[in-house]
Structure 1
Amino acid sequence: MDVDKNIVTDTIFELFAAEAAGPKYRALAAALRAGIGSGQLPPATRLPPVRDLGWRLGMTPGTVARAYTLLTDEGLLVAEVGRGTFVQGPAGPRPPLLVGAAPEEAAGDGMVSLFTARLPDLGQVALIRSGFARLAERPAPELLDYPSGRAFAPARQVVLDWLREVPLGPVDHEDVVLSHGAQNGISLVMQAVLRGRRPVVLVEDLCYPGFRRAAELLRAELVAVPMDAQGLIPGALADLARRHEAQLLCTSPELHNPTALVTPPERRREIAEVARACGLHVLEDDSTSLGDPRTESYRAMLPDLGWFVSSISKTLTPGLRVGFTIAPQARRGDLRRVAEYGFFGLALPLAELLGDLLARPETREIVRAVRARNGQYVRATVNALGGHDLSWDEQAPFVWLRLPAGWRAAAFCLAAEAQGVQVRAAEEFALRDTFAPHAVRLGMNTRVPMPEFEAALGRLRRLLDDPPGQILV
């Protein structure tokens, strides 16, 4: 509900003042309960952040978070990570979900955001600046004219050289389309593949939210495929693909987002056989892994059905918004047509900057340094939280934490934020009508100094070691 936040805060202050003495968190919970019952806090009202309300009421943020958690467990409030805490009820207008670094922008002093991975500057800023300087010296016509298709050939060839360790199968630079990051690449593949009024896209039962957003823009129906410890379950995939006449599978087998699971070669081959038998296109998103590939890509296994998407966002910078999408050779015309019809292709100066960066030997040195720094933070996380149910990989810019009994993901996120740490709940990686486990993802924010990062992990560990008394199932 679009109500001035000061009015909501003042209303809660008055309700709290009317409550009898007792533990502050119970008094605040009683005040909120009374306001919801009386209609003073109607459905869809957004409550103040725990820090703001704590300051107004003269209590710690942890006390406010405890009251919010109590009413969330009762079903009176709902916590939406990245949006806030709302009075439960018919869905009213919500502010847009802030993706990526936005929660950090809203964070106050002392807040450590593990909401998403953040890269350190290990030389790439200077490299990008020098690349822009070289770009500024290009002949004037190249900065004035529409580019031709041939103009992108050098940058596409550099991309293939950059990906030379990835087993992509037979590939030519004309199979490559430069995109505005991997998210744009995912949308391009869906536009090239999907047909009909209500096409079906299959995804992992926990998956990168960008798959969902891209499918929703194209009015596609999403169906979740169950997973086990090795990734997608082939039998379930075959059943759902046939039952729903699915056209596309979106998957992250090299390093699954959010669980850091790696699908082994034998399971990949089983999945490829299912896709071949069902005529199912497979989009492999490889934009998350920081390391070298561990097995063949689906594009190599499925020459007519395999699509590959990656970017420089996790290895160099997300700021340039540059990615690359590789089509099966028989479908490269479809992919290039979608890009040209949609946005005329990447701006040529940006493509030339990408080619300049990826062709420089110092860029690979920087990527190796980024990987090494990320590995240090992953190891620190495992050392601090390894006594709990943690999934991790040193090539992953995040770890996956299954919460102990007593914690729900939304409640844990609130409690963590009250302790000055932002984490991402499992609900953000599940489809809206599917079950989300009690788990959170912790991004490796390698821009935070290690002592501060370790201190934040210590605060999380104390929460994990002392869950709420009520057992939540």
Structure 2
Amino acid sequence: MGTIWPNALTSDLSGRAGPKYQRVADTIRGAIEDGTLCIGTKLPPVRELAYQLKITPGTVARAYTMLTDAGLLQAEVGRGTFVAEPENKVPDDVWSRQLHLLEAQNPGHVSLFSPRLVDVGQVAALREAMVKVSQADPLLFLNYPTRDAYEPVREVVAEWLSDDLLGNVHQNDVVLTHGGQNGILTVLQTVLEGAQPTILVEDLSYAGFRRAADLARARVVGVAMDEKGILPESLELAIRKTGATVLCTSPEVHNPTGLYTPLERRKQIVEIARRHEVQIIEDDCYRMGEARAPSYRVLAPELGWHVTSFSKTITPALRVGFALAPKGRAADLRRTAEYSYFGIAQPLAELTRILLSDPRTPQLVRDVRKEMAKYVRIAVNALGSFELVWSDSVPFLWLMLPSGWRAAAFTRAAEAQGVQIRSADEFALRDGRAPNAVRIAINGHVTTARFEDAMTRLRTLLDNPPEQISV
């Protein structure tokens, strides 16, 4: 191989930060990716490269081991270390095909309970990020998490979240949580006071609000809604009757109906909340596209708490969420998180930092949205003649059932046909009434052909209601 590449390596090392072994590994990786080191190229023996770089043999050996474990190098006893053949890595399409393994084992079954994202490359990006995490400073794997240690992650998250409709986000505003649900609970633990506080939700709402309230020993009261969301007069009445201090709502993508609360209605809600000093918790986890109106964090900076995650845009598997406090309450929110779980694991936080700072990630998010929209359009083509609420950037559809069907009976009939969906009853309060409707989630883990077949089965059921209405 001569001396050209090792000399270039010496120059590259001087311009990199981090432990020497990681600098060596990163530089070799870069040389492989840009073609400086071709497949099959033999690398210098450990001691020879260490001598040329003026570092210890153990440092070079550690770098070689990292790259061998990552599949970039191949060590052969008695021959040396070589740049590995691409066949030594598992092709990305193999991993994508495995997404369909469960459905292939049971071809008659399609679960549309919860959204499942299409893999457009985020699995490969996560694998790559995990390799980088494995090469991080050993202290990352040995220390308790600290507030200062999370600062680089919070800075990346703040940049990721900042936009005109969410407002300027500073890293001090961000608290990392174990997914959006944990974010909601953390905020409730921060704001609720008294022996049995009361929170308000839409009459139909995300079940996670109620579960978090149960854990916080809070009472949940429903507020009437229309096609624009919460009815202001009902909100005012509920606050006066119950003394509620918190409102939980999802104005951008209401779960389960998919409805959207326009700006004028949001302003009315803010006016009422200010008059009664009610905190507003906005759950923004289901939005895949751009926001259409300013968040409550912008409209009511002193009252608006914001919870989101990348579960519906990148992956739900990591269980990472972000909670933002209103003006003057960030320290309270951080204290709740630190007292309850110290913070998310530092390797997971570093994985989040790497993933969100990768310049390829925004395109991955756009590609996920584009592919999920294909499934939405398949569903609309099959079910569009019925009363259907849908959007290209929402990973579920809301279907009002035609005459002859009740939600419970329809979900049972659909399951008998191998399609699992959710009844509106699952989103109603215990003492509330649910409309005759179902939620149909998008499942990107099955092929579009399988998904279309599932929609056809639902369409056949809708066209053929039972002669007797069952409950």
TM-score (ref. length: structure 1): 0.76
Matched with 2:282 is 284
Matched with 1:359 is 357
Q: Is the 8 A contact 1:405 1:471 kept in 2?
A: no
Q: Is the 8 A contact 2:115 2:441 kept in 1?
A: yes
Report the 3-state secondary structure (helix = DSSP H, G, I; strand = E; otherwise coil) of the residue aligned with 1:329: coil
Q: Is the 8 A contact 1:405 1:472 kept in 2?
A: no
Q: Is the 8 A contact 1:178 1:346 kept in 2?
A: yes
Return structure 1 stretches of 4+ with deviation > 4 angstroms. Answer: none
Q: Is the 8 A contact 1:166 1:297 kept in 2?
A: no
Task: Output the amino acid matched with 1:417.
Answer: E
Q: 1:175 aligns with which of 173, 176, 191?
A: 173
Matched with 1:116 is 114
TM-fit CA distance, 1:120: 1.4
Q: 2:424 aligns with which of 420, 423, 426?
A: 426
Structure 1: any 5+ residue segments left out of the alignment?
1-100
Q: Is the 8 A contact 1:307 1:326 kept in 2?
A: yes
Q: 1:405 aligns with which of 403, 406, 416?
A: 403
Structure 2: any 5+ residue segments left out of the alignment?
1-98
Alpha-carbon separation, structure 1, partners of 2:205 and 2:358: 34
Matched with 2:225 is 227
Alpha-carbon separation, structure 2, partners of 1:119 and 1:133: 23
Q: Is the 8 A contact 2:145 2:343 kept in 1?
A: no
> 1:130-160 deviations in whole A, cap 9, x for unaligned?
1111111111122111132111111111111
Q: How does 1:7-22 map to 2 (within 5 A)?
A: none
TM-fit CA distance, 1:349: 1.3
Report the 3-state secondary structure (helix = DSSP H, G, I; strand = E; otherwise coil) of the residue aligned with 2:343: coil
Report the 3-state secondary structure (helix = DSSP H, G, I; strand = E; otherwise coil) of the residue aligned with 1:380: helix
Alpha-carbon separation, structure 2, partners of 1:350 and 1:444: 27
Matched with 1:340 is 338
> How many pairs were matched up?
370
Alpha-carbon separation, structure 1, partners of 2:114 and 2:146: 37
Matched with 2:124 is 126
Q: How does 1:254-265 map to 2 (within 5 A)?
A: 254-265=252-263
Report the 3-state secondary structure (helix = DSSP H, G, I; strand = E; otherwise coil) of the residue aligned with 2:360: helix
Report the 3-state secondary structure (helix = DSSP H, G, I; strand = E; otherwise coil) of the residue aligned with 1:316: coil
Q: Is the 8 A contact 1:165 1:293 kept in 2?
A: no
Alpha-carbon separation, structure 1, partners of 2:123 and 2:445: 14
Matched with 1:7 is none
Q: Is the 8 A contact 2:162 2:168 kept in 1?
A: no
Task: Output the amino acid matched with 1:163.
Answer: L
Alpha-carbon separation, structure 2, partners of 1:380 and 1:171: 37
Q: How does 1:79-158 map to 2 (within 5 A)?
A: 108-158=106-156
Q: How does 1:378-397 map to 2 (within 5 A)?
A: 378-397=376-395
Judged with a 3 Å threshold, the aligned counterparts in structure 2 of structure 1 residues 109 and 471 are, in CA distance, closer, same or farther, namely: closer
Task: Output the amino acid matched with 1:128.
Answer: L
Q: How does 1:226-305 map to 2 (within 5 A)?
A: 226-305=224-303
Q: Is the 8 A contact 2:161 2:169 kept in 1?
A: no
Report the 3-state secondary structure (helix = DSSP H, G, I; strand = E; otherwise coil) of the residue aligned with 2:328: helix
> 1:11-65 deviations in whole A, cap 9, x for unaligned?
xxxxxxxxxxxxxxxxxxxxxxxxxxxxxxxxxxxxxxxxxxxxxxxxxxxxxxx
The root-mean-square deviation of aligned C-alpha atoms, in Å, is 1.6
Matched with 2:305 is 307
Task: Output the amino acid matched with 1:226.
Answer: A
Q: Is the 8 A contact 1:307 1:325 kept in 2?
A: yes
Task: Output the amino acid matched with 1:273.
Answer: E
Q: Is the 8 A contact 1:165 1:292 kept in 2?
A: no
Alpha-carbon separation, structure 2, partners of 1:449 and 1:420: 15
TM-fit CA distance, 1:170: 4.6
- Work out the percentage of aligned pairs sharing the same amino acid: 53
Task: Output the amino acid matched with 1:182.
Answer: G
> 1:188-211 deviations in whole A, cap 9, x for unaligned?
000000001110000011111100
Alpha-carbon separation, structure 2, partners of 1:449 and 1:166: 37
Task: Output the amino acid matched with 1:390.
Answer: L
Larger radius of gyration: 2
Alpha-carbon separation, structure 2, partners of 1:184 and 1:414: 31
Matched with 1:329 is 327
TM-fit CA distance, 1:379: 1.0
Task: Output the amino acid matched with 1:281.
Answer: Q
Alpha-carbon separation, structure 2, partners of 1:431 and 1:110: 33
Alpha-carbon separation, structure 1, partners of 2:271 and 2:309: 27
Report the 3-state secondary structure (helix = DSSP H, G, I; strand = E; otherwise coil) of the residue aligned with 1:303: coil
TM-fit CA distance, 1:108: 4.4
> 1:159-212 deviations in whole A, cap 9, x for unaligned?
111112352335321111000000000000000000011100000111111001
Task: Output the amino acid matched with 2:225.
Answer: M
Q: Is the 8 A contact 1:166 1:292 kept in 2?
A: no
> 1:221-244 deviations in whole A, cap 9, x for unaligned?
000000011110011101101211
Deviates more, 1:401-410 or 1:202-211: 401-410
Matched with 2:50 is none
Alpha-carbon separation, structure 2, partners of 1:400 and 1:257: 9
Matched with 2:447 is 449
